[in-house]
Amino acid sequence: MTNTLNKLGKFNGIDGPLLLIIADGVGVAPHGPANAVALANTPTLDKLAVSDWYTELKAHGTAVGLPSDDDMGNSEVGHNALGAGRIFAQGAKLVNAAIADGSVFESAVWQAACEKTLAGGTLHLLGLHSDGNVHSHNDHMYALLKQAAQRGIKRARLHLLLDGRDVPPRSALDYIDTTETVLEKINQQFHADYRIASGGGRMRITMDRYQADWDMVKRGYDCHVHGVGRAFDTARQAVETLYQETDKGDQYLEPFVIHDTSKPDAIGKIVDGDCVVLYNFRGDRAIQISQAFESVEFDKFDRGQHPNTFFAGMLQYDGDLKVPGHYLVDPPRIDRTMGEFLCATGLRSFAISETQKYGHVTFFWNGNRSGYVDEKLETYVEIPSDNIEFDQAPAMKAREITDKTIELLETGKFQWGRLNFANGDMVGHTGNVEAAITAMEVVDECVEKLIKVVHELNGAVIYTADHGNADIMFTDKDGVRSPKTSHTLNPVPLAISFAQAPAELALTPPDNAGLVNVAATVINLLGYQAPDDYQPSLLSVK
């Protein structure tokens, strides 16, 4: 099957370049004190929202391949959907199915992990500790623990990354109490020794992405492997103590280790012969720690006495780099992406973002594929992110992205391009309303500049988002305001701004339109028919 596209016939495409802007984490919600998107002074975005070329798209749940409509969207599945043009079962859904039908426990990797542990080692489970269902779900961890116990594994240790980002900011104790109850039942039923061994906030240890901060990974590695961190008798004691010392949420708590009360040593160091399973299913924040465990040639930091372990991930987080080499559940196989079709047709494009979202407009956009689809036709640009808390600099790198995008557009070499402004999501995750308002105002400023340039080039801009976040910054229950740092279930905007709207086109979104409908829309605007199996375009040709 050829991947080249056929011309539309009745519409030859816009005359100038097409620019797709993804405002990460910017959903549509009712106006109110928690809605930083609506509170911000955004005249450009406001104008787009009342134009004839405006609609709203589903960006969560089954519309993007997640198990149910109670599941919030995220940047990874959102960009998968934008680039694929079709709905694919995503991480949580794949893992749920594999656990439900037992295939994960029949896999060769799980069997090998159990056999190696039974030979005399300890089973270590590492992952994000919550039911946020964005990177992980505790039910998956519990299923692994119970199956390990049934296989006869007597010793297991948990290394828990506190969330406070995809779930309420200070919810760690509830999750820890539930996990301790599960461990107690397993220990009693199977006469086993399963315990929590280490932990820390997800934005302090282990879960860096896009190689933005290897020191974060080192802190996690040293904590989990070598027992480096503040010592406590229990995980509950650790979190309660840290809560007393800071007003920050779970995601920023410092690393801790659990020591045996009978001797001053960490109870969960990882040593030769042990087995480590990373139970996160989402890839971006799992790749680097996987490399730290399994890479032979590793030079990102000094691992000290690096143990010889059997390491496995819940999924393979990067199919091209083969990270990790062992994994329990096959990731979604996303083929025939928009990028493949447009490259096969000979169109030149660019993709640009700062480090925090660079992989989203490249790796995830291309169906979980590293590198270029066609290096001769594509240009990828990464603007390095700053390693600071994002509410301290809510502009992030939006202005630098804008300047570079204008430079690329004005070369005249590209038929289309895509960019991601990370501000709404990354600042939204901090729970700081004022910072999120500033972030949105910077995005508005940048969108205005980009629209002006694209119009001068006789092109068009599509403005949309991948999921909500900054649209609900806190919840208010009985007069008590609690920061909401997780994504929302709200729809996202989609607006098209033309230098001159084509008379041949009309905006006619299908019922229940979602992010997957954007791919066919882009292809139509470039003057081509979308593939037959793509979800329909938001446009119709008169």
Please tell me the predicted confidence (pLDDT) of residue 480.
86
Looking at the structure, tell me whether residues 268 and 415 fall in a common domain: no
Domain assignment present for 242? yes
Average pLDDT over residues 17-46: 98
Please tell me the predicted confidence (pLDDT) of residue 194.
98
CA 510, CA 520: separation in Å to the nearest integer?
A: 12
The candidate with the shortest Cα–Cα distance to 523, out of 25, 61, 86, 54, is: 86
- Residue type for position 70: D
CA 86, CA 64: separation in Å to the nearest integer?
A: 9
Looking at the structure, tell me whether residues 220 and 254 fall in a common domain: yes
pLDDT single digits (tens) 271-284? 999 999 999 999 88
Looking at the structure, tell me whether residues 147 and 51 fall in a common domain: no
The candidate with the shortest Cα–Cα distance to 52, out of 494, 453, 467, is: 494
Look at 164-178, 212-226, 255-269 and tell me which has the smallest mean pLDDT: 255-269
Banded pLDDT at 1 (limits 50, 70, 90)? very low
Give me the number of domains the chain comprises.
2
- Judged against a pLDDT cut of 70, whether residue 148 lies above it is answered with yes
The fraction of the chain above a pLDDT of 70, given in percent, is 99
Please tell me the predicted confidence (pLDDT) of residue 248.
94
Domain assignment present for 10? no
Looking at the structure, tell me whether residues 116 and 252 fall in a common domain: yes
Please tell me the predicted confidence (pLDDT) of residue 482.
86
Instruction: Give the Å distances, CA to CA, from 204 to 63, 254, 388.
Output: 32, 6, 11
Average pLDDT over residues 8-29: 96
75 is an active site residue: yes
Looking at the structure, tell me whether residues 282 and 430 fall in a common domain: no
Domain assignment present for 477? yes
Domain assignment present for 29? yes
Q: Which of 51, 75, 290, 349 is catalytic?
A: 75
CA 309, CA 48: separation in Å to the nearest integer?
A: 54
Looking at the structure, tell me whether residues 110 and 71 fall in a common domain: no
Residue 38, SS3? helix
Looking at the structure, tell me whether residues 291 and 439 fall in a common domain: no
0.85 exceeded by pTM: no
pLDDT single digits (tens) 153-178? 999 999 999 999 999 999 999 999 99
Which one has a higher pLDDT value, 408 or 134? 408
Residue 110, SS3? helix
**DSSP string for 196-242:** EEEEEETTTSS---TTS-HHHHHHHHHHHHH--SEEESSHHHHHHHH
Residue 541 dihedral angles phi and psi, to the nearest 5°: -95, 125
With b for 16 or more beta-carbon neighbours within 10 A and e for fewer, the 36-72 pattern comes to: bbbbbebebbeebeeeebbbbbbbbbbbbbbbeeebb
Average pLDDT over residues 72-92: 93
The single-letter DSSP state of residue 475 is E
- What pairs with residue 378 in β-bridges? 349
pLDDT single digits (tens) 410-468? 999 999 999 999 999 999 999 999 999 999 999 999 999 999 999 999 999 999 999 99
Domain end residue (candidates: 262, 296, 329): 329
Q: Output the CA torsion 492→516→138→308 (10° steps).
A: -120
- Residue type for position 33: P
Do strands 492-498 and 505-507 pair parallel, antiparallel, or not at all (unpaired)? unpaired
Domain range for 494 is: 18-89+334-541
Banded pLDDT at 331 (limits 50, 70, 90)? confident
Domain end residue (candidates: 297, 329, 361): 329
Looking at the structure, tell me whether residues 523 and 374 fall in a common domain: yes
Please tell me the predicted confidence (pLDDT) of residue 289.
98
Banded pLDDT at 118 (limits 50, 70, 90)? very high
- Residue type for position 228: V
pLDDT single digits (tens) 369-403? 889 999 999 999 999 999 899 999 999 999 999 99
Domain assignment present for 1? no
Output the domain CATH number for residue 101: 3.40.1450.10
Looking at the structure, tell me whether residues 319 and 372 fall in a common domain: no
Residue 158, SS3? strand
Instruction: Give the Å distances, CA to CA, from 195 to 157, 198, 233, 264, 343.
Output: 5, 10, 11, 16, 51
Our CA angle for 252, 253, 254, nearest 5°, is 115
Give the number of other Cβ atoms within 10 Å of residue 385's Cβ: 21
Looking at the structure, tell me whether residues 229 and 377 fall in a common domain: no
- Judged against a pLDDT cut of 50, whether residue 309 lies above it is answered with yes
Domain assignment present for 12? no
Banded pLDDT at 260 (limits 50, 70, 90)? confident
Average pLDDT over residues 233-257: 97
Looking at the structure, tell me whether residues 47 and 79 fall in a common domain: yes
Looking at the structure, tell me whether residues 144 and 224 fall in a common domain: yes
pLDDT single digits (tens) 467-502? 999 999 999 888 888 888 889 999 999 999 999 999
Please tell me the predicted confidence (pLDDT) of residue 75.
92
The single-letter DSSP state of residue 10 is S
CA 207, CA 214: separation in Å to the nearest integer?
A: 10
Domain end residue (candidates: 268, 299, 329): 329
